[in-house]
Amino acid sequence: MQRVMIIGQPGSGKSTLARALGERTGLPVVHIDTIHWQPGWVERSHDEKTQLCHEVEAGERWIFEGGHSATWNNRLARADMLIWIDRSVPLRFWRVLLRTIMNHGRSRPALPHDCPERLSNLPAFFRFMWRTKTSARKKMKQVVATAPSDCRVVCLRSDRDAEAFLAGMGVQPSQAGQPQRSARGKCTPN
């Protein structure tokens, strides 16, 4: 395992899992929010985000978590593991609220410097989350379905799944995360 792609909707736990997996494996972790945003909540252009994603994807070792789906096919072609964190809508909203409150006035670890969490940003972000809840999940389901046969695919639907996956990182890949996968090693999303 040298290149790990982690996808999931906001509040699913991508950044947390990426950091924990990075600590266990020594692989460098890249958060899409550090590509999407510049200090002061300045959004990069689409082309600049794409270029930065391609630079990361070209590397030999990485854990790359997050969106910019315009580059997912390229990222997936390079990944040897795809992790889809598929969590419920209410839980994700709760987690986003909680992380905003807990980090109010300062930047989260997955964000660039000078991007402090603000309660005033929540209504617009919640609208985005609500508006994309179905379409984003459908897109992620499609990415999972099109993963190359040599890419190990893992679906995590609970904290227990994530903990078991991380605990299983010391065992053979065929044994880790088995309850979440079908016999073909693909996610079986609902």
Give the domain ranges of the chain.
Answer: 3-87+136-180
Weakest-pLDDT range from 116-120, 126-130, 168-172? 168-172
Q: What is the pLDDT of residues 144-189, one digit of tens each?
A: 999 999 999 999 999 999 999 999 885 434 333 433 333 234 465 5
Please answer whether residues 33 and 110 qualify as being in contact, where contact means their C-beta atoms are separated by less than 8 angstroms.
yes
pLDDT at 184: 32
pLDDT at 189: 52
Q: Report the percent of the chain where pLDDT is more than 70.
A: 89
pLDDT at 169: 80
**Once rounded to an integer, what is the mean pLDDT over residues 16-45?**
94
HSE value, Cβ hemisphere, 13 Å, CA-based, for 119: 4
pLDDT at 180: 39
| Res. 20: pLDDT tops 60 | yes
**Once rounded to an integer, what is the mean pLDDT over residues 60-73?**
94
Please answer whether residues 17 and 162 qualify as being in contact, where contact means their C-beta atoms are separated by less than 8 angstroms.
yes
Give the pTM.
0.88
What is the homologous superfamily of the domain 3-87+136-180 according to CATH?
A: P-loop containing nucleotide triphosphate hydrolases (3.40.50.300)
| Res. 64: pLDDT tops 60 | yes
pLDDT at 109: 86
Choice between 180 and 111, residue whose per-residue pLDDT is larger: 111
